[in-house]
Amino acid sequence: MKMYYKSEYMSPIGNIILCCDEKENIVGLWFEGQKYYADNIEGKIIENNSLKIFKKTKNWLNRYFSGKKPDIKEIPVKFIGNEFRKSVWKILCKIPYGKVITYNDIAKQIANQRGMTKMSAQAVGGAVGHNPISIIIPCHRVIGKNGKLTGYAAGLDKKTKLLELEAL
């Protein structure tokens, strides 16, 4: 059975649970009570606040919540999910700080990658919603058609606050 470790971080907008694998790659970052919490983890999760990756990630989050723009690449992440979801999450990683894109924009990129004429924005929405590494993998920067705020597994109130923090 695989072992995973967790630690908690109190952010200005709620408690966050961090999760890493045995190699200290972040595999989860969820707000407490978030939909799909740890649904990508198959194994035992043990609390361990002494791991270097948690200190590094908490430092990243401190900088983020203080209005700085820490780079996604500073934190080693490992995606646990099917290939479709991973392809969507990789696109999320490329959304610049302070910018938003639509589910349809992502669907077009996935269709292009796969040599398809189109892809369902709804399917993309499902993958975005199951992003297990909130904030660092910025799924909050994905909006609906016509600029509408739609869906966020931690709640639209959190999505709104994250976008406000990024001055969007």
How far apart, in Å, are the Cα atoms of 13 and each of 18, 42, 61, 143, 164? 15, 28, 12, 20, 12
Q: Annotated catalytic, 139?
A: yes
Could you say which of 19, 20, 93, 139 is catalytic? 139
Tell how strand 26-31 and strand 14-20 pair up: antiparallel
Contact 77, 100 (CB under 8 A): no
List, in sequence order, every beta strand (DSSP E) within the chain. 3-11, 14-20, 26-31, 44-47, 101-102, 142-143
Tell me which residues are annotated as active site.
139
